[in-house]
Amino acid sequence: MKALLLQGKGEWKEMQVGEVSVPSPGPGEILVEVHAAGLNPVDYKTATGGNPSWTYPHILGLDVAGVVAETGEGVTRWKNGDRVLYHGDLKKPGGFAEYGIAYADRVSRIPDGVTFEDAAALPTAGYTAYQALHRKLPLERIETLLIHGGAGGVGGFGVQLAKLAGKKVISTASAHNHEYVRSLGADEVIDYRTENINERVMAITGGRGVDAVVDAVSRTSASESLDLLAFMGHLVYIAGPPDFTRIKPFSKVVSYHEIALGAAHGSGDPRAEHDLAVIGDEMLALMEQGKLSSQLQEVIKLEDVPEALIRLSERHVQGKIVARIK
């Protein structure tokens, strides 16, 4: 099969399409003929440092949409020809290839009304945002959220999900992305480059602060976001923990929530593993109903993935990029 091959640690900019053997599904696994695969910052970040579980050449790509081509021993839920979507295990070969292997219990069915490309834009960013809002936050007790980076994948899905839940949504984005972020449902958008985020948030909330912040930007951003929280507020951090000493004990009484989507694969907890499929099913249903945008902005060829990852690393991408494989 054709695959985009990472030849060594840190060599993701030089990846080229080559030929490798088609993998075979083991017990509890399925072989998927890949039609589309989504791009994410995690691709170049992990490729830069490598992973001790990898052998080279390695295949990147965590977000995979395609058709079941073969089922492994013990798999009864899926049959050949089923349209499926999955979030891959980072430790294993990924979906920038004509075929990929998935755990059968972590796979979602793609509805007829959703394209492979739209589906492939979903898992890493979408499931992360879903976990933040619907698995971590006590959403029924939250009125106002600040979601950083509304023009990006996680932020964009977060804005949409928060608005669907009936919340007041504040987001941050560069000025040229404000209209786009508002189109996703943000009530207020702050230009993080030219405006004082703290002053704007306090003005919008009448000096109280927000009930929750979802931060997928950086540890520094997560730390600074603590100043924006109301009493008993919640910080969801995705790109690293904040400086916990910034908030004194017995003061704001802040709750901290870590998100690490891929950790479910190595958790050894069947319920956590299957929840990836549950989240996928629920988000795909929203997409089919027209309630959730995939944020798909660009469809590229497999050989163009390295160039697109470079643009992702430079933070010059709005929404999602997907590679069409078949």
Angle made by CA atoms 85, 88, 92, in degrees to the nearest 5: 145
Backbone dihedral angles phi then psi of residue 222, each to the nearest 5 degrees:
-65, -40
Pairing of strands 144-147, 16-19: unpaired
Beta partners for residue 296, in sequence order: 320
What pLDDT was estimated at residue 316? 75
Query: Tens digit of pLDDT for each residue in 3-32?
Result: 999 999 999 999 999 999 999 999 999 999
Query: How far is it, in rounded angstroms, from Cα 251 to Cα 264?
Result: 33
The pLDDT assigned to 232 comes to: 97
Selection from 237, 205, 233, 207 nearest residue 221 by Cα: 237
The DSSP code for 118 is H
Q: Which two tokens stand for residue 87?
A: 């979030």
Query: What's residue 57's pLDDT?
Result: 98
pLDDT at position 317: 86
The angle subtended at Cα 57 by Cα 55 and Cα 59, nearest 5°, is: 95
pLDDT at 218: 95
Q: E strand or H helix at 230, and its extent?
A: strand 229-237
- The continuous run of DSSP H or E covering 270 comes out as helix 270-288
Distance between CA atoms of 189 and 156, rounded to whole angstroms? 12
pLDDT of residue 252: 95
Alpha-carbon gap, residue 151 to 189, rounded angstroms: 10
34-53 burial: b if 16+ Cβ within 10 Å, else e: bbbbbbbbbbbebbeeeeee
- Collect the ranges in the chain with pLDDT lower than 70: none
CA distance 37 to 86: 10
Length of the chain: 326
- Supply the mean pLDDT for the chain: 97
| pLDDT given at position 315 | 82
Residue 152: how many other CB atoms lie within 10 Å: 25
Q: What pTM does this model have?
A: 0.97
**Alpha carbons 143 and 280: distance in angstroms, whole number:** 25
